[in-house]
Amino acid sequence: MFKGEKHVVTFNAVKLPERLFNIFIDKCTALYGDDNVKRAEAKRSKANDLANKKVVEVEVPPLEGGLKFPHVYKNGARFDDFVSDIKAADLEEEAQRQRHADAALITPAQKREQLAKLHSFIDARLKGHGNIWDTLLAAHRTDRFMEVFSQCIEDACIEYGDVDPENSKAYLGRSTINVKQVREGPNAVFNPDTNDLESPLSKEAGRIILQYRRLIAIRNCSHRLNTSINRDNLTREIRGNLNKFYKDVQDRDELGELLEHTSEHLNDLKFNYFLITKHAESLLKRFNVVKHLKARGGKNKFKIKLEGEGGHKAISKIIKRLTPAPMTCLERSEPAGEGRPKGSLTSNPAEIDEILHHAWDAITHGAKGDLSTMRDDFIRK
């Protein structure tokens, strides 16, 4: 997150995104399109009647030895018929474009009527969530607030426009499609035995190595139980590891003999040292196999990426090390004092931080101002 004060921007109007606004326009066109076309045609006809235009007929003398067109053009069709067909197709296309344009001429009265219906759908969706709005604002969960709010608007517009369920996904935006929860993977782990970094384990490999370590801890604590004075701590350690071991054990581990043995000695906790060692070593072997398979799969995947389609592009990126350049210099968006006018460059980290705040806060933090007031104003529209 950036440091410093947040840049506050106020808004006096709310507008639907273009994809949702298109639903509104299509709905209005479907309802009023025919009436709008008739009204536009009548208006043009009246304008033509009122225009004082005189038609002058001019007789053009024929050219001497003028252009001569063949009577037959192609496949037995006459050339003049061919020209007539082309003209008719052009006129039909122009008329179709004019009808579409006339149908989209929504009058203010039609717009007000449909906006009222659209707002009724939106109000019903918003009120259906009860007091969640105040709860989210009180918890400073503006991200969740905008997700739920956007979902209400999108669902209401889809319901208002009678959009086909199969096509509704194209109108979903911030509430679902464009919202992605990013979770960074675990970092590489330093292994002091090999003095090297190792890639993070897969879920299965992590489970197996934990089971192995629990068995080793159970074996060692059980072995010390007979000679140790502090038996309570060892007993608590053994039972805790046993409970976790039973919880994570799976059928493919093939530990039936060990499970039966530990169940028989739950009271005295005197387990066979060699039997536990045998199954612990078996788990360690399985761990190494799973780890090796994952490493080999990663190498094969990387090999396919380099040798498959788009391999040259991937190799070029690796060789050229195409990474974003560090943001060490920015242009001032506002005057910053004497000798530092607007548009000049700065490399001061504090000024760079302030410029980034000014440019990005509206995006990273959403709309500014009193969200409760903005919500109430929108619902009362």
pLDDT by 10s per residue, the chain, length 381: 445 565 666 656 566 777 788 888 888 888 888 888 888 888 888 777 766 555 555 565 665 555 555 554 555 556 566 667 778 888 888 888 888 888 888 888 888 898 889 889 989 988 888 888 888 888 888 878 888 888 888 888 888 888 887 777 777 765 554 455 556 566 666 677 777 766 777 888 889 999 999 999 999 988 888 777 778 888 889 899 999 999 988 888 888 898 898 888 888 888 899 999 999 999 999 998 888 887 777 677 767 777 777 778 777 776 766 655 566 778 888 888 887 888 888 888 788 888 888 888 767 666 666 667 777 777 776
H/E run at residue 345:
strand 345-346
Residue type, position 51, single letter: A
pLDDT at 177: 47
Cβ neighbours, 10 Å, residue 111: 14
Q: Count of CB atoms within 10 A of residue 278's CB?
A: 13
Query: What global pTM score does this model have?
Result: 0.38
* Residue with the two structure tokens 């190792």: 198
Look at residue 197 in the predicted model and tell me its pLDDT: 66
Cα distance between residue 137 and residue 370, in whole Å: 10
Distance of CA 216 to the CA centre of its chain: 45
Task: Quote the pLDDT of residue 2.
Answer: 45
Query: DSSP 3-state assignment of 20?
Result: helix
Distance CA 17, CA 271 (A): 68
Q: What's residue 57's pLDDT? A: 59
Could you give the maximum distance between any two Cα atoms of the chain, in Å? 130
Closest by Cα among 279, 254, 286 to 271 = 279
User: In the structure encoding, which two tokens stand for residue 131, read together?
Assistant: 């007091």
What is the gyration radius of the CA atoms in the chain, in angstroms?
A: 38
Tell me, what's the pLDDT at 216? 92
* CA gap 121, 163 in Å, rounded: 14
Which position has the token pair 């426009």?
161
What's the pLDDT at 366? 62
Identity of residue 367? A
Residue 174 contacts residue 147 (beta carbons within 8 Å): yes
Neighbours of 288 (CB within 10 A): 13
What whole-number distance in Å separates Cα of residue 103 and Cα of residue 116? 20
Cα of first residue to Cα of last residue in the chain, in angstroms, is 35
